[in-house]
Amino acid sequence: MTAPYDPADREKVVAKLPLALRQELKVRAAQLSVGIQDAVTEGIHAWRSNPDAAAPVDTSGGQSFATYLPAGLYDDFKKDCKSRSVAYNQGLAQSIRLWLDTHQMPKLVRPAQVRRFVVCNQKGGVGKSAVSNGLSQALAEAGARVCVIDFDPQGHLTRHLGHTPLGIKEPSLAKYMLGEADGDISDLLIPIEYDPFLGRLFLLPACKDAFLLDAKLATTRNVRVKETALEKALEELEKQFDYIVIDCPPSLGYTMDTALYYARTRDGEDPRASGLAVVVQAEDTSADAYDMLLEQIEDMEDDLDVVVTQLGFVVNLYDSRKGFIATSSLEQWRGFTHPPVLVVIPDVKEQREAVRLKRPLLEYAPDCEQAIAMRDLKKALTK
């Protein structure tokens, strides 16, 4: 049904709806990149045009909910509620439920073989951990089985999710890479137990001994081939997951070489299936760090005759209020034809709040700008 109202001419409406319904509406609208007011408007039109599709909703414990409807629709809706002997709050709840039931989250197509996203840049502080974290959550929220690996000995990603990096004497990814650990590396996995991704998102935590990894990779005789150490360590994990996301350290050493090699295009694999997501900010030092990363990529490709796909840039913590430096730098990043800018993530407070509370961003603030940007990044990488 086409709305006979000007979408720009809206009026505020307030109702009392149960918390669970309001939260489900916020999450679904954010997942589908639809405005809440547009979702409610569509639901009301569907409810008015198809009375048989409406079903009673438990509205007990309702709390205040406000949105904006096209002018005139509110009065027409109330008249319909009265003619059907349905309370206004119940009618609105039924409309929202109808929209939710007819706008399911598109199911993510599970890949035939594991896809590997290596989140990197040589500059610290650009937000690689936040991007790795958010991307992994968005993939798991959409139905994929995801392992996010904290490959940075600083352990920011591990701590963001409320956990502690593994101790020097404990089994760890570094020890598996060096051939110093026995048993199943899956035993190190930590499930991220929140409803949006329950049973699908797992963390391989950071380890404090990873600071020594570069030196040991350069000298140990236990490593079969230095560049393949990470791939060999993760071989068994790949059988369990659809996606593996690696949060890399700001490093130019052997550790980063193993991550770049892990991201290479494998035999028979689509070149866009796996590769690098390069996190930058809209300022000059990110570009300098990217130049160093690019040299390392090109050296590996030449030396080992492999292809490492740069999937694109993630411009993080963008704030146009910073003026010319930020806006002109963003345009420079967008000026690249290869790789492209995948998404621009704004510098807003919700990510910092989620970190402080040790909660996943997409669970803590599922409809905030940054959460939506993480889902956009997921879409860009999986389309």
Q: How many domains, the chain?
A: 2
Tokens of 161: 């999710």
For strands 10-17 and 63-70, give the pairing.
antiparallel
Residue at 108 is within a domain:
no
Q: If we measure between CA atoms, which residue out of 177, 172, 144 comes closest to residue 158?
A: 172
* Final residue in a domain of this structure, among 53, 71, 102: 102
| Residue 234 shares a structural domain with residue 131 | yes
Cβ distance 99 to 48 under 8 Å?
no
Query: Domain span at residue 276?
Result: 115-382
| Residue 91 shares a structural domain with residue 207 | no
Residue at 42 is within a domain:
yes
Cβ distance 317 to 127 under 8 Å?
yes
| Residue 65 shares a structural domain with residue 158 | no
In this predicted model, what pLDDT tens digit does every residue of 97-129 receive, in sequence order? 999 999 987 777 778 899 999 999 988 889 999
- What integer is the mean pLDDT of 14-22? 91
In this predicted model, what pLDDT tens digit does every residue of 314-351 receive, in sequence order? 999 988 888 887 889 888 888 887 899 999 999 989 99
DSSP code, position 107: P
Residue at 145 is within a domain:
yes
Which backbone phi and psi does 201 adopt, to 5 degrees? -120, 125
Which backbone phi and psi does 267 adopt, to 5 degrees? -55, 125
| Residue 194 shares a structural domain with residue 54 | no
| Residue 201 shares a structural domain with residue 87 | no
| Residue 289 shares a structural domain with residue 242 | yes
Tokens of 380: 């860009």
Predicted confidence at residue 220, as pLDDT, reads 64
Residue at 110 is within a domain:
no
Q: What mean pLDDT is reported for the chain?
A: 90
| Residue 130 shares a structural domain with residue 248 | yes
Task: List % helix, strand, coil for the chain (3-state, nearest 5).
Answer: 50, 15, 35
Predicted confidence at residue 212, as pLDDT, reads 75
- What integer is the mean pLDDT of 65-81? 92
Residue at 254 is within a domain:
yes
Tokens of 272: 């866009």
Higher pLDDT, 279 or 209: 279
Residue at 4 is within a domain:
no
| Residue 323 shares a structural domain with residue 373 | yes
In this predicted model, what pLDDT tens digit does every residue of 231-286 receive, in sequence order? 999 999 999 999 999 999 988 888 899 999 999 999 999 999 999 999 999 888 88
* The model scores a pTM over 0.85: no
Residue at 5 is within a domain:
no
Buried/exposed 285-312: b ≥16 CB within 10 Å, e otherwise: ebeebbeebeebbeebeeebebebbbbb
pLDDT at 222 over 60: no
| Residue 83 shares a structural domain with residue 120 | no
CATH number at residue 323: 3.40.50.300
| Residue 274 shares a structural domain with residue 350 | yes
Residue at 25 is within a domain:
yes
In angstroms, rounded to a whole number, what is the distance separating the alpha carbons of residues 235 and 232? 5
| Residue 378 shares a structural domain with residue 271 | yes
* Final residue in a domain of this structure, among 46, 78, 102: 102
* Final residue in a domain of this structure, among 102, 123, 156: 102
| Residue 75 shares a structural domain with residue 127 | no
